[in-house]
Amino acid sequence: MSLAEFEIIAKYFAAQAGERTDVALGIGDDAAVLDVDPDRKLVLAMDTIVAGVHFLEDADPFDIGYRALAVNLSDLAAMGAVPSWMALSLSMPAADERWLERFAAGLFELARAHDVHLIGGDTVRGPLVVTVQVGGWVENDRWLTRDGARAGDALFVSGVPGEAAAGLALLREHAASGAAVEHLRARFLRPEPRIALGRALRTRASAAMDISDGLLTDLHKLCAASGCGARLEVERLPVSPAASERFDEEAWLSFALGGGDDYELLFTIPAAHAAELDSKTLEGIGVCRIGVMTESRTVECFHRGQPFVPASTGYDHFAKP
Ligand code: ADP
Ligand code: MG
């Protein structure tokens, strides 16, 4: 029997992770939080991207380098942390200098934008696989986790989830260029880690995570970690003017609910403070109230008041066929 991603981690790794008391938060969230400094916490995350899985085989190496760091910074954003360092492990079939130059340009463009310093790594021959580990800091008093949501909290999302999946669909079909197509492709190729938003949410949100596998899948994870459920009002999801030029409502909803790669933040705000954020921008990023957390322990979707069954729910690397 094949195991799902979370079952593999739970059974073989989390169960015997260790006993150290300086691990303030270990496996199960977007990043680990370590107690190594009296004044602040060290936050570490690691993500791997694989050719043909996380980026197209013929992708521009600039975008591969950018993405390898972006997906990691997104995990730090989800903790409310400030990034500082990265380590890079690179497996590639051959040392192609033109490829390496573009790859490094993409990686360091984003690294410079966030003042991230490359501190080490590993370089081997093999299939094209890029692993980045990032480290950063968060204040001692509060950081963001997936497990703090409570029934009654308002559920929010940043940006426009679904645009990245729409962009990937257009890349796959080699759609002709145009403003809408360019916008959507860029949302897939150059996700913007929401570091400043995560910092702003650090003292406001009861729970947060980044959306990497799809809004619904990741909402299930947030609910499971928090021991509650959610009611999602599908018609409240942010609309993409660019995507509505290219896709019908059914296709768009399947991108918005099930498409991954958005790297937006999904977060909950205690009811008393939800109105202050509703349809506002925070650090220049639109945030949208899309539902409410419930006691039910399930995620229920409604569309204009009617129960709604989504066509696609998200991504699991080891999902059973
Ligand atoms: P994210 O998408 O936010 O990076 P993942 O879904 O990849 O998170 O992982 C969920 C949690 O499981 C994270 O805390 C991650 O560090 C941990 N994890 C994933 N793979 C392993 C592994 N092989 N060993 C230990 N922990 C793991
Ligand atoms: Mg994450």
> Which ligand number lies closest to the CA of residue 28?
1
* DSSP-assigned letter for residue 17: -
Ligand 1 pocket check for 30: Cβ under 6 Å = yes
Under 8 Å between Cβ of 41 and 140? yes
In order, the DSSP letters of 231-291 are: EEEGGGSPP-HHHHHHS-HHHHHHHHHH------EEEEE-HHHHHHHTT-EETTEEEEEEE
Helix (H, G, I), strand (E, B) or coil at 198: helix
CA distances from 265 to 64, 210, 262 (A): 22, 4, 9
CA 17 to ligand 1: nearest atom: 25
Closest-CA residue, ligand 1 atom 24, reads: 13
User: Residue 147 is encoded by which pair of tokens?
Assistant: 């497990």
Alpha carbon nearest to ligand 1 atom 23, residue: 9
Contact 98, 148 (CB under 8 A): no
Continuous segment of H or E residues that includes residue 117:
strand 117-125
Ligand 1 centroid to Cα of residue 45, in Å, is 9
Distance CA 22, CA 19 (A): 9
Neighbours of ion ligand 2 (CB under 5 A): 30, 75, 210
Give the whole-angstrom CA distance, residue 285 versus residue 300.
Answer: 26
Burial class (CB in 10 A: 0-12, 13-18, 19+), 135: buried
Ligand nearest the Cα of residue 193 is 2
Q: How far apart are CA 201 and CA 237, in angstroms?
A: 20
Cα–Cα distance, 285 to 276 (Å, whole number): 15
Cα(218)–Cα(216) distance, rounded to whole angstroms?
A: 5
Residue listed under structure tokens 């390898």: 68
pLDDT of 176 reads: 87
* Residue whose CB lies within 8 A of the most ligand 1 atoms, among 3, 9, 11, 219, for a mutation test: 9
User: Which residue, chain included where needed, has tokens 């150290």?
Assistant: 20
The type of residue at 260 is G
The pLDDT of residue 3: 82
Domains (range + CATH), the chain: 5-139 (3.30.1330.10), 154-307 (3.90.650.10)
φ/ψ of residue 215, rounded to 5: -55, -45
Minimum-distance ligand 1 atom for the alpha carbon of 31: 14
List the residue whose alpha carbon is closest to atom 21 of ligand 1.
9
Does any ligand 1 atom lie closer than 6 A to the CB of residue 27?
yes
For the Cβ of 262 lying below 6 angstroms from any atom of ligand 1, the answer is: no
pLDDT at 236: 97
In the structure, how many helices (H) and strands (E) does the chain have? Answer: 10, 14
Per-residue pLDDT in tens (0 to 9) along the chain, 321 residues? 568 888 999 999 999 999 999 999 999 999 999 999 999 999 999 999 999 888 888 899 999 999 999 999 999 999 999 999 999 999 999 999 999 999 999 999 999 999 999 999 999 999 999 999 999 999 999 999 999 999 999 999 999 999 999 999 999 999 888 999 999 999 999 999 999 999 999 999 999 999 999 999 999 999 999 999 999 999 999 999 999 999 999 999 999 999 989 999 999 999 999 999 988 999 999 999 999 999 998 999 999 999 998 876 666 666 655
Q: Return the closest-CA partner of residue 159 out of 181, 124, 188, 135.
A: 188
pTM: predicted TM-score of the whole model, two decimal places: 0.95
- Residue 177, pLDDT score: 87
Q: Look at ligand 1, atom 26, and give the residue with the nearest C-alpha.
A: 27
